[in-house]
Structure 1
């Protein structure tokens, strides 16, 4: 049963006694049936008469939009006693209808209310509410669903027209507003521009793909004959632990090959036979003959990966034959990672397990599990029930003692992916599942910023225990200093409650408690906790950033704010002021790095070998040697075109293990292509498709200036005169602000993650070694062998399109089907697709009937022609596009 806080309960009782509750609930019900339409009007408002700087917009950038509310009923709404709560990732700077006001609540939550000038909604009336937002709105997913209505004493209700993941139901097409600036040089993807982009990738004959293993082995020699697996496989898996053996057996069965008898597959472990760089965990040798296959591993992981290479060769449909070959292989990086954020929006255990299956199939070995953030705490911690009871749930409770306020499209209810957490048993099951697949799980508990779910939960715990007369217990894990009156705003527009206070002894006790409990779960699962991820990112006040200026003495081109009203995090915390005064920490700005060092002492005391963090949170530490742990790693997330290719070497030269995690290449919450219909954030880049990821050179970041463009589609230069010790690894990230469902998460991950697996495992011939002082200039220098890159991509794209995507179907993965290119040439329809092998269909009757397009019999068409690509199993399609 949903628990109501006392203030809400009292309001309901009062309303019922007064007879008002029924009237208010009727108003809420009427408004919940309103039509909502959101339309972006102008993304270049500063150039068209709006003083964005005076409104306080970052870098003086703002856009105009309009909210239209339509009363579809035959009854007017005259009450003034209501409010519509709605999410907006863009700060709303101005409301241009005097009958309404919009107030920022916290995070992305805003409240729209009538003013005294409101005269009601007449039956059938539509009312426009023009607004000005910060930044731009270039993709449909900038608008977030599940707006809801409240009134005093009434239960909130979602506005039905916004209760959808199909944003086209209430968001108008972006149209010509897709450019960030007028000189944005990105190419809008249409049927024609996609056709042009795909034109250098053709379908290869299946014979030319024989023996292609993904990810590509270091050395491979393919022979002419085939091995036949149609009668099944007799697997000798004695060298593997039984759970890992069962993973291999299940994968063969999933691909349509029975196990127990048939083609012999023998395995052994012989570490002394591996030499040089191949003498490492995960290395293997594979021999496939007509009569048997033999896998020799450096260790159990090597045997597991050798078997996955056999499975890589197996087709889902057609003859169950694989090429005979000899392969010698070892991983390129020790760290080959996938990151999933379940804090912003929760993702189910089933989806996590499916992701781990695919990690194993493509030899990824580090699962970075983002378990907490401002918007949610997602793991049960014994002894701290509020973390999940409050921090793991969202609902409309303005006191936030029963739950967190709605964010990111969750609405007022707790029955969606805004709410949820993993029980202790769930987490142990995930660990055991990962262990069987030779995957390390790296839990991240984000702090000292991005900690709002924990802070609010511990405030609820504090209130409960104080009411019980237990002040010592109440203060044991409190994360806020009650003396702290700092006025600060996070990057996601939360206040000081987003920051765990690093100066409190209770904060240190909290970290120790959480770490101890998670460590115990790892012990019970038999999967050692070897890396603790501290988070550490974005512990700052956004209004003190470079894009804002003091309105008392403004700088041109920046948002004007009253800097006298802005503080650094914890600036007015008496306990932090005392710490700085003592000399223990240099100043307030150094607190995040100081706290990271303090937490590293706890990590080391628990016997955990490595601490890891997002690099910006450690910037004021002297280097890896400042930390108590044996090893210290960072996820490097600077964009390359803003200087990242030079800055990365500083971190490696300070002794950190650098995992390349650049937003402009491996943030998979970003769109696949420049099309307003494509979902995703885009602050780091406008598109990241499979080809771009495949072309990424993670161990020579400057090289990428020759093979990609910056956020605005322009060439850029990159280089560094510094020495580069080399990357420790590569990781792909899915942040979940606008990734609300499991299906959306899989759409973002797959098939791009296979390109990550390729680059993390295999160094291509066209990847150059780091050369200090070499400057790569897009469009000018030509150090990269782009012909070799294009040929390599054609091979890889064909393996995906002709073989691997069908395996994703077999595993039940909701991967993204690429939108095809098409154009009409001499009256005939020509189409192509980025991953050759996928079927393309067309319709000439508005989608009533679909026909298979064939290159050898191009149809004569006219009028309204639609095209789409289809998954190998025929169950899913791409977006439909019109050929013009």
Structure 2
């Protein structure tokens, strides 16, 4: 066979299957500590390769595959695994390889770091390269459903450790969890507005909108009115109809405490609806509240009522990561529609990361020509190497970017919905896409002899020999060097061009997000100990710590800064760079400087040391690891503190403790819509009474600084989220719960008080009030709001129902009452709508599912 024939044959015929043997390697005698596993934790996987085609004897081939866990040892002498970069590894034959006989299956056991608790840990699109062949994707792995190439996670392997106290999501456990949520009568939720207003008074009447509405607008810019009427039209409302709706502004109508942007008054009467805005944003929100009362389809009757409302937080945010995997402009626009519908006003746009740069910057074409593309190019001069299941080609969401025209369209769209776009170009860490792109630019210009231009935007010190491993397993090229003037030139250029686009769109750049997170060497973390230490513990990995460096420690340019006394030590470089970036941003008229809190933690002093008018931090400390205390410390230093806690507000975490769910889980094993709804953002310690840590255990939390929370943001990171459908599944509907908490303070939320301690043992939270509020919210979603997501074309997650069989009778329920439930007793061939009153008798294997509000999509099917 030629090299290409070998690659083609293996790609077409090689069956790939992963089977988890154990997640508890240290407990079962694996040498996790000796293999340098962090926290001495490792798992064992059986990788089986089955040759379903003709025999292959060649040894000149490699399988490139994606693993989000570092592979520590291969237990088959015929093969070896090599880490390339990030999650990309190679599997290749050794001299002892005996070939793949026709029909042969070969098992390759390997030990990986940590554990694999969800099937989405296994990434798709492994590919083969033989000699100089064109890379070919292995067909058996070219699937978004990991069950195509993995076996189910069985036994206790869904547990992180044998002592894991989480509750596995089953039909029975879901039924028990949903048992306190009853189906409310349609009339009971007719007057419910999401997010909940400050005051709602039902006045006993009804209004039919069957003949449409007619809007008299004296408040809104044309673009905002068009945004609102377009949404109404999607519900089936004729906006050239009969019923009058009047919009106007009158700040004098508002009490002193409600004189804030976004406040409104809504008065629905039999003959007319009036919306009074404190400002045009308030008038827009008043229209959204009117739409919240509407249904979809021909029947359009709403109750008469009076509403007085104002937002809880000025900052009500959603962050979307398009760096790890790209999400289309259309998906972003749909997200902005829903943010506006639920009164969220800050779109935090994470536009770059190690795995991709996603916005066009005039004058720096390499950022998108190379940095936005992923493909198999070992030189990385035409694209970045594949990551996170993107495979060898660029024809998927691993690649992509927004042109200047796309970005302008997003800005215009957001402006018409009262949403500020906050761009984040992450630095100095998580910057590999930028660094590699600027290295390609350097090479191009250096070869042309223009060294001044080549050096202008270079981002890495060529003499830096630092041995560093980042959180996603990249090396020093993950970092923009903060000690180089050319790095600041790059920042100045990028901010200038982004600001120009914002100005052109009529949305001045008001906030610059610096990023700043995770600028560290994970090998110097607390999960490792020196291999030569005399005082070892069993629960840390052994490592030669003398061979590890802090970022930039071996950069002569950074060493010079330390020698001159400009920076105290290498850990302070990230904050030092942030101060200089804030100077650039302020010089462009950008009022707010924003960052993830860990990037500023080594700075001494308060927020006033920055050049910006205001400095905001997205606080992403996990609450059960001290985040409930640390947040208030930041606020006390003068930072605008935005609650962004991953154990409650990260939408890349799984919805439930079920290996079939999608997501990362380092912060929590599950965050469903109900958990996000029950988050108390202003009294962070309170959450210790109503939720558990990632192992299902209680924890203790109390605040120690007298300070307040500025805002709240829900985050979607995209490591496991490759398609628009997956993206919307992860975001919706739980982001609506985040909108509820950012706008409305629940009656069950206690006032934050310094020193008050909360835990699973305290009884300080009114849980009956919390359940009652959730029941109304969940019914409104199930009976009304999910249908609007259908009308908007949003691929939201349909909740998996709960069920049990008692005395031969099937009982079913769901977390969002109002959705249709179905069951099957013949393996899914036929489905019957569940009717609790009918008391259906069942026997044998029973499958269950729920249906989307429009009847077009289904939840996962589970069995009893």
Q: TM-score, normalised by structure 1?
A: 0.97
In the alignment, structure 1 residue 354 sits paired with structure 2 residue 337: no
Q: CA deviation at 1:275?
A: 2.5
Contact 2:210 2:298 in 1 (8 A): no
Instruction: Output the CA distance in 1 between the equivalents of 2:786 and 2:606.
Output: 43
Matched, 1:843 2:828: no
**For 1:200, what is the secondary structure of its paired residue?**
coil
Corresponding residue to 1:774 among 751, 756, 764: 756
From 842, 849, 859, the equivalent of 1:861 is: 842
Counterpart residue number, 2:265? 285
What SS is found at the alignment partner of 2:796? Answer: coil
State the distance in 2 between where 1:538 and 1:40 align: 30
Is the 2:236–2:298 Cα contact (8 Å) retained in structure 1? no
Residue aligning to 1:97: 76
- Whole-Å separation in 1 of the counterparts to 2:702 and 2:467: 39
**1:719 maps to what in 2?**
702
Structure 2 CA distance for aligned equivalents of residues 663 and 489 of structure 1 = 23
Partner of 1:545: 525
Paired position in structure 1 for 2:91: 112
- Give the superposition deviation at 1:663: 0.3
Superimposed CA distance per residue, residues 699-747 of structure 1 (whole angstroms, 9 cap, x where no aligned partner): 0000001100000001111112321x21111100000000000010100
- Please give the secondary structure, in 2, of the residue aligned with 1:864: coil
Q: Distance in 1 between matches of 2:543 and 2:217?
A: 66
CA distance in 2, matches of 1:294, 1:201: 34
Task: Render the CA deviation track for 1:230-264: whole Å, top value 9, x for unaligned.
Answer: 10000112421111110111111111110122110
- Of 620, 623, 648, the match for 2:606: 623
Following the alignment from structure 2 to structure 1, what is the Cα–Cα distance between the partners of residues 248 and 489? 47
Q: Which residue of 2 aligns with 1:11?
A: none
Alignment partners' CA distance in 2, 1:253 and 1:854: 33
| 1:749-806 deviation line (CA, Å, top 9, x unaligned) | 000001001000000111001111111111x110000011111111111001111000
Query: 1:872 is paired with a residue of what secondary structure?
Result: coil
Instruction: Identify the residue that residue 420 of structure 2 maps to in structure 1.
Output: 440
**How far apart in 2 are the matches of 1:781 and 1:249?**
48
2:677 aligned residue: 694
Q: Which residue of 2 aligns with 1:759?
A: 741
The superposition leaves residues 54-111 of structure 1 with CA deviations (integer Å, 9 ceiling, x where unpaired) of 11111111101111000001x2110000000000000001000000000000000000
Q: Secondary structure at the match of 1:237?
A: strand
Alignment partner, residue 308 of structure 2: 328
Instruction: Report the CA distance between 1:375 and its aligned residue.
Output: 0.2
Aligned residue for 1:338, secondary structure, equals: strand
8 Å Cα contact 2:127/2:136 also seen in 1: yes
Aligned alpha-carbon RMSD (Å):
0.8
Residue 317 of structure 1 deviates from its aligned partner by 3.8
1-side partners of 2:290 and 2:739: how far apart?
A: 16
Secondary structure, aligned partner of 2:201: strand
What are the residue-to-residue correspondences of 1:718-867 with 2, within 5 Å?
Answer: 718-723=701-706, 725-778=707-760, 780-867=761-848
Counterpart for residue 708 of structure 1: 691
Distance across 2 between alignment mates of 1:707 and 1:305: 31
Partner deviation per Cα, 1:415-434 (whole Å, 9 max, x = no partner): 00000000000000000000
Q: 1:11-61 deviations in whole A, cap 9, x for unaligned?
A: xxxxxxxxxxx7001100111021000111100010111111111111111
With 705-714 and 545-554 compared, the bigger mean Cα shift is at 545-554
2:643 corresponds to which of 645, 660, 666? 660
The corresponding residue for 1:4 is none
Distance 1:223 1:639 in 2: 44
Q: Distance in 1 between matches of 2:153 and 2:203?
A: 53
Q: Are 2:397 and 1:417 aligned? A: yes
Distance 2:674 2:472 in 1: 31
Structure 2 CA distance, aligned partners of 1:518 and 1:555? 51
Query: Hey, what's the Cα distance between the residues in 1 that align with 2:184 and 2:824?
Result: 26
Q: Which string of whole-angstrom CA distances, capped at 9 and with x for unpartnered residues, describes residues 464-493 of structure 1?
A: 001111111000000011110111110110
SS at match of 1:301: helix
Q: How does 1:452-463 map to 2 (within 5 A)?
A: 452-463=432-443
Q: 1:563: which partner in 2?
A: 545
* Corresponding residue of 2:58: 79
For residue 505 of structure 1, what is the aligned residue in structure 2?
485
SS of 1:371's equivalent in the other structure is strand
Query: Displacement, 1:318?
Result: 5.7
Per the alignment, residue 185 of structure 1 pairs with: 165
2:216 and 2:708 mapped to 1: Cα distance? 38
Q: Give unpaired runs (5+ residues) of structure 2.
A: none
- Cα distance in 2, alignment partners of residues 720 and 284 from structure 1: 34
CA distance in 2, matches of 1:359, 1:712: 32
- Runs of 4+ deviating beyond 2 Å: none
Q: Does residue 31 in structure 1 map to residue 10 in structure 2?
A: yes
Give the match for residue 456 of structure 2: 476
- 3-state secondary structure, aligned to 2:207: strand
Which of 141, 155, 171 pairs up with 2:134?
155
2:652 to 669, 676, 679: 669
Deviation at 1:652, TM superposition (A): 0.1
For residue 497 of structure 1, give the secondary structure of its aligned residue in structure 2: helix
Structure 2: distance between partners of 1:112 and 1:277: 64
Moved more, 235-244 or 818-827: 235-244
Q: Secondary structure at the match of 2:179?
A: helix
Partner-residue secondary structure (3-state), 2:214: strand
Residue 371 of structure 1: how far off its partner (Å): 0.2
- Consecutive unaligned residues of structure 1, counting only runs of 5 or more, are 1-21
* Aligned residue among 665, 676, 680 for 1:682: 665
Out of 252, 257, 279, the position equivalent to 2:232 is: 252
- Does 2:105 match 1:126? yes
Cα distance in 2 for partners of 1:277, 1:702 equals 26
| Contact 2:819–2:852, Cα closer than 8 Å, also in 1 | yes
- Residue aligning to 2:596: 614
Displacement of 1:210 after TM fit? 2.2
| CA–CA separation in structure 2 for the residues paired with 1:433 and 1:777 | 44
Secondary structure of 2:236's aligned partner: coil
Cα deviation for residue 581 of structure 1 reads 0.6
Partner of 1:144: 123
Aligned residues: 859
**TM, length-normalised to structure 2:** 0.99
In the alignment, does 2:560 pair up with 1:578? Answer: yes
Deviation at 1:569, TM superposition (A): 0.4
Distance 1:684 1:120 in 2: 43
Quick one: which of 555, 569, 575 aligns to 1:593? 575
What whole-Å deviation, never above 9, does each CA across 1:103-144 have from its counterpart, x for those lacking one?
000000000000000010000000000000001100001110
What's the secondary structure of 1:192's corresponding residue? helix
In structure 1, how many angstroms separate the alpha carbons of the residues matched to 2:476 and 2:774? 48
Q: How far is 1:273 from its partner?
A: 2.4
C-alpha contact (below 8 Å) 2:214/2:240 kept by paired residues: yes
Return the alpha-carbon distance in structure 2 between the equivalents of residues 790 and 580 of structure 1.
56
Is the 2:624–2:693 Cα contact (8 Å) retained in structure 1?
yes
